[in-house]
Amino acid sequence: MRNLIALVAGCLVIATASAADPGVTPSAKNAAVMKALEASRAASASGSASASAGGAGGGTLPAIAPSSTSKPPARMSEREREEQAEADLSAKIQARLAIMKANQAARVAAAAKAKKAAAAAAATAAAAPKVYSNHWSYDGETGPANWGRINPEWAKCGSGNRQSPIDIRDGMKVELEQITFDYKPSSFNVQDNGHTVQVTLSGGNFLTVGNRMYELMQFHFHRPSEERINGKGYEMVVHLVHKDAEGKLAVLALLLERGRSQPVIQTVWNNLPLEKYDVSAPSVVLDPMDLIPARRDYYTYMGSLTTPPCTEGVLWLVMKEPVQASPAQMALFSRLYPLNARPIQPASGRIIKESN
Predicted local distance difference test score (pLDDT) of residue 76: 82
Q: What is the rounded average pLDDT of the residues 309-324? A: 98
Question: Model confidence over 31-89: pLDDT tens digits?
Answer: 444 554 454 454 444 444 433 434 444 444 444 444 545 566 678 888 888 888 989 99
The CATH number for 231's domain is 3.10.200.10
Q: Are 32 and 170 in the same domain?
A: no
Boundaries of domain holding 333: 147-355
Whole-number Å distance between alpha carbons of 16 and 250: 156
Q: What is the pTM of this model?
A: 0.66
User: Tens of pLDDT along 151-192?
Assistant: 999 999 999 999 999 999 999 999 999 999 999 999 999 999
3-state secondary structure of 188: strand
Q: Does residue 121 or residue 310 have the better pLDDT? A: 310
The answer as to whether 212 is a domain residue is yes
Per DSSP, the residues of 229-291 read ETTB--SEEEEEEEE-TTS-EEEEEEEEEESS--HHHHHHHHT--SSTT-EE--SS-B-GGGG
In a domain, 282, yes or no: yes
Q: What's the pLDDT band for 133 if we cut at 50, 70, 90? A: confident
Which residue among 11, 26, 48 closes a domain?
Answer: 48
